[in-house]
Amino acid sequence: MRANRQKATPGERAILTGMKRLWALIRQRCPVCLQGQVFLSLFGMHTHCPVCGVKYERETGYFLNSMFIGYTAGFLVLTPTAVLLYFLDVSIPVFSIVIILEALILTPLIFRYARIIWMHADQMLDPRRSEKQKGIS
Ligand SMILES: [Zn+2]
Please give the distance, rounded to the nearest whole angstrom, from the Cα atom of residue 32 to the centre of ligand 1: 5
User: Residues 86-105, buried b or exposed e (16+ Cβ, 10 A)?
Assistant: eeeeeeeeebeebeeeeeee
Is the predicted pLDDT of residue 133 greater than 80, yes or no? no
Residues 137 and 121: their CA atoms lie apart, in Å, by: 25
5-52 pLDDT, tens digit each:
678 888 888 888 889 999 999 999 999 999 999 999 999 999 999 999
Is the predicted pLDDT of residue 137 greater than 60, yes or no? no
Residues 103 and 79: their CA atoms lie apart, in Å, by: 11
Is the predicted pLDDT of residue 131 greater than 70, yes or no? no
51-86 pLDDT, tens digit each:
999 999 999 999 999 999 999 999 999 999 999 999
By C-alpha distance, which of 17, 25, 36, 32 is closest to 123?
A: 32
Domain range list for the chain: 10-130
* Per-residue confidence band for 126, with pLDDT thresholds at 50, 70 and 90: very high
Task: Please state the separation of Cα 28 from the chain's center in Å.
Answer: 6
pTM for the model stands at: 0.83
Please give the distance, rounded to the nearest whole angstrom, from the Cα atom of residue 50 to the centre of ligand 1: 7
- Number of other residues whose CB lies within 10 A of the CB of residue 3: 5
Please give the distance, rounded to the nearest whole angstrom, from the Cα atom of residue 51 to the centre of ligand 1: 5
Please give the distance, rounded to the nearest whole angstrom, from the Cα atom of residue 55 to the centre of ligand 1: 9
Contact 95, 66 (CB under 8 A): no
86-103 pLDDT, tens digit each:
999 999 999 999 999 999
Please give the distance, rounded to the nearest whole angstrom, from the Cα atom of residue 117 to the centre of ligand 1: 15
What is the model's pLDDT at position 30? 96
Contact 31, 51 (CB under 8 A): no
Burial of 122 (0-12, 13-18, 19+ CB in 10 A): middle
Residues 50 and 34: their CA atoms lie apart, in Å, by: 11
